[in-house]
Chains A and B, each alone.
Chain A
């Protein structure tokens, strides 16, 4: 087990290094620099600016500073702010949004998926299943504005923008969470159907165990495996989704910041942010992999 964790952790470090290389060269290849303005900047000024940000150094040296010291680098657009500070000031908002969305997704998705799997092809199955199809086909950028029309414009129950009061946070979390709830419900249904058809469930039921205890003690552990493995990509997806949701609801989070940084060609901030998110995703995937082995010990022996 320890050996498995160690090997996966080592792999993750390797992957992260590759990602950092790709990021570096990609952000270097973007046309236009952070110091280009409508008016042409004098060559000497540009040279000096570039020297200040270490952009005249050889590639390998730049790569090393950009990759390993990014939190302490100044932003190329706002030189008096450090990349690390900028991330620290905006990221908690995105994290909070993502966490709420994940809670919504699991709290809605798992129960409805279980319900659907108990009586397949009945109303109990069709209603959650078609609802989740709707959820998958209404991407966040349609869902969000629709919710705004209904709850903020027509009913005037909730605020359409902002991120201060608890009531501001309901619509964005629902918007982002509902999309993933749909996937979670589908995966739970599939996983549970697979497990519920197996012999050990029949055995447990024939021993006289109640359906409820069979579901919670025996079936869920296997039935939720697809959901657990989905959490890795979902974490990455939540980031993308939060870009849109932050735009729709005017939430001061990371997503808007990234799009702005890209159009500003704020190189240090772009590379820092990508690396930050990449390490987050990779770390989360690592956790998911380990959790999967705990749920299904057969996996660690398979290479």
Chain B
């Protein structure tokens, strides 16, 4: 680390801490800030810090420097100067982000933190990022992470959880196998990804164009890839010829690509299931729990029923109940074949290993139809699934409740099988009985 010539002092070498010393003006107006920023960028080398930052680091370079928050949490106040000097934000300086610091009264004893806990502080400080990174911040607001934060989830990330606070790096640094921050929370899924064709392409073959987390889930407007065909869009974004390639051999290819998620065939080791999502067929989007809860009134009942798995009648009543209560939307169940877990969704294999045989699905008792879930979107954007009995796909009631999902052979209605059997038996019996009676009466004569 080097400090610019404006100070000539190594902040880490200072033996004294001057908490009273004011720093540069923290009241810079935004235009002045921009002038400052552009000047700083032009004049300060990449790994240098200003003299004013050096003043801050005189104290904050001490590793044991910390404070106690209202809830008793210890907030570390140590800033590794060398790390900050190497970050892309080194030219901004301390006070442009830490505007809550009043430098005139900034002492260990007087500068009480206005946050109840560290999490609250992180969420508050993340808003500062918005001022320069408005576009990314807006994208983040539409993400599942932001929804989780708003719903009070303490584990959901804000800016600094992924980018760090004083060691913010360039964009490219986060798009590497070692730098991807996603693995900190989604370790199992990341491990599955590493073993997948995509992960292997990066780690072993060095193909940096192979997707990493953000390639499918996006970097800031992070969302579940399997909702609303996003996954298909994500896959086809790179595999542009895939749609045509499927049409060459797969009958009704478009329908398959719509009703079957890519991993259902391309992660052959995964366990498949059918998910029936409550869907607003007018607005063409999944239905959220918020929309139906006031009308349905028995979501707890739904949860209770789903403990044993929703049966065909319960599912039929659910759809009927939602539509009956004056819902503007026409609610249907949109069926889709998916893999059972998020971890399995990342176990993508090479295309040679993908399932190609129709019999995997289009026969009675096929594995994908043994697991059925009913899902809806929670207020925080996450999908919540309830178990359903596999018979919901073969019940006569499914004509009404699951009208939009049918896989030839695999989900056939049992009542129709019985009717066919009756037709065969009846069709054969009528001639036999009639013929027998004719012969009987002939003898009788």
A and B associate in one complex: no
